A and B are shown apart, each in its own frame.
Chain A
Amino acid sequence: MTITGIAAIGAGLAAIGAGLGIGKIGGSAMEAMARQPEMHGKIQSSALILAAFVEAVALFGVVVAFLQG
């Protein structure tokens, strides 16, 4: 397998991690919003921030894959 192939697998693994993380945040945020609709705005903005943190780690992986691939 070439280094490009391995880099592509790495990018895929990073996507799995980010998908799990953001999915969990999104699911919990939806649940929380359903329980407390009056907190809708606050929950949404913190969910977006947390999603950005999770995504950043995944994007590090993607950038490394870019550099290798």
Chain B
Amino acid sequence: MTLSTFKSILFSVLFLAISTNGFASENSDPENDKEFEPKEMILHHVKDAYGMHIIDISGHPISIPLPVILYTDNGLTTFMSSEFHHDYNGEVIVEKNGQKFVNVHEKVYVLNEGETQVTYDEEHHPTNAKRPLDFSITRNVFMMMVSVIVLILLFTTTARRYKKSENNVPTGIAGFIEPLVVFVRDEIGKPMIGEHKYKRYMPYLLTIFFFIWINNVFGLIPILNGANLSGNIAFTCTLAVFTFIITTISGNKNYWKHIFWMPGVPVPMKIFLMPIEIIGMFVKPISLMIRLFANITAGHVIILALMSLIFVFKSVAIAPVSVAFSLFITVIEIIVTAIQAYIFTILSALYFGMATEEEHH
């Protein structure tokens, strides 16, 4: 493929991406006189949901149904999210297993016995319904499974390529993966953890690097709109907790000494520094969590807000500006996907390096 055909394909894909972004965010059709609410639309896209909403065609939502798995007082109850008929205002009642379920703002509630309708308090929380234990395959869980399958395919193919090749020359997809693995090893693992100890942490570093990256990239594919997995605080929290556990477990004597009894400073200072260092131990994973969450969510919100401008001003004249800006932001977001994966990995490696650093004089 020559460079110019590659360029034209890249730009067509980018423009297609943007146009579907706009199409997907359209929810004001002529029959529906409801005022277009950008805030509601954006929050709905950024949050998790039970079904995978793809597109609205003349007011008709089209979505992939996903299983809702609940553990209630009557035991395990499962049904498909399509039974809610795209309702998330608690109007459609699904009867299963002798219980009534409603979907209130993408949270399934089970109605109390004898109730036929949801009632709300002033803050719009249901008063006569409670949350069952929810193990549903929501769209975030679904996208995570997809990304896991893609990663497994990618890396088993790479491994097979090496097995086949004569002298370990990377061919095909391995030619794409090898530089990235070498980058994580030489630019992240070795300088941050140290020549001797980095090998133990490489599997974890490589896993989070590729996992975060592929999920960031999936979040930008507009037709899977709302696959905002790495912009979900529970997801980033889990990854940060892994980093925290590994740091704490691999902490050596020197690390704990620096936390509880800082060497080289007078005793009053040691006592003063101890609580600060203990707080710092927890702030590190928390900042990892919030950084990834806020960066990715902010990217999604900006793109969608630029798209909503067209519908807010209700004019075609604003569309070129809006499209141009979202093209610009989308290009930046493509860079951000890689940078955020890199930052998360390098900071994890930095913390592991701090935990395993030997005393030096």
- Residues on A facing B (Cβ under 8 Å): 41, 45, 48-49, 52, 55-56, 59-60, 62-63
Q: Which A residues are CB-close (under 8 A) to B291?
A: 52, 55-56, 59
Q: Across the interface, do A62 and B346 meet the contact criterion of CB distance under 8 Å?
A: no
The CA-CA distance from A15 to B304 in the complex, in Å, is 20
9 closest A-B pairs by CB = A59-B294, A56-B287, A52-B343, A56-B291, A59-B290, A63-B294, A62-B294, A63-B290, A59-B291
B interface majority secondary structure = helix
Q: Which A residues are CB-close (under 8 A) to B347?
A: 49, 52
Q: Across the interface, do A48 and B295 meet the contact criterion of CB distance under 8 Å?
A: no
Q: Which A residues are CB-close (under 8 A) to B295?
A: 55, 59
| Seed contacts A45-B187, A48-B346, A52-B291; 5 additional CB < 8 Å A-B pairs | A45-B191, A59-B290, A59-B295, A62-B298, A63-B293
The CA-CA distance from A60 to B290 in the complex, in Å, is 7
- Residues on B facing A (Cβ under 8 Å): 187, 191, 287, 290-291, 293-295, 298, 339, 342-343, 346-347, 350
Q: Known contacts A56-B290, A60-B290, A63-B290: does B339 contact A48 (CB below 8 Å)?
A: yes
Chain A residue nearest to B343 (CB atoms) is: A52
Q: Which A residues are CB-close (under 8 A) to B298?
A: 62
Chain A nearest CB, measured from B230 CB (Å): 14
30 contacts across the A-B interface (CB closer than 8 A): A41-B187, A45-B187, A45-B191, A45-B346, A48-B339, A48-B343, A48-B346, A49-B343, A49-B346, A49-B347, A49-B350, A52-B291, A52-B343, A52-B347, A55-B291, A55-B295, A56-B287, A56-B290, A56-B291, A59-B290, A59-B291, A59-B294, A59-B295, A60-B287, A60-B290, A62-B294, A62-B298, A63-B290, A63-B293, A63-B294
Chain B residue nearest to A45 (CB atoms) is: B187
Which of B191, B293, B294, B342 is in CB contact (< 8 Å) with A48? B342
Q: Which A residues are CB-close (under 8 A) to B191?
A: 45
Chain B nearest CB, measured from A19 CB (Å): 14
The CA-CA distance from A52 to B290 in the complex, in Å, is 11
The CA-CA distance from A60 to B339 in the complex, in Å, is 19
Chain B residue nearest to A52 (CB atoms) is: B343
Chain A nearest CB, measured from B193 CB (Å): 14
Chain B nearest CB, measured from A63 CB (Å): 6
Chain B nearest CB, measured from A47 CB (Å): 12
Q: Which B residues are CB-close (under 8 A) to A48?
A: 339, 342-343, 346
Chain B nearest CB, measured from A12 CB (Å): 14
Chain A nearest CB, measured from B236 CB (Å): 12
Chain A residue nearest to B340 (CB atoms) is: A52
Chain A residue nearest to B346 (CB atoms) is: A49
The CA-CA distance from A45 to B287 in the complex, in Å, is 19
Chain B nearest CB, measured from A43 CB (Å): 13
Chain B residue nearest to A59 (CB atoms) is: B294
Chain A residue nearest to B295 (CB atoms) is: A59
Among A49, A52, A62, the one with the most B-chain Cβ atoms within 10 Å of its Cβ is A52
Q: Which A residues are CB-close (under 8 A) to B287?
A: 56, 60
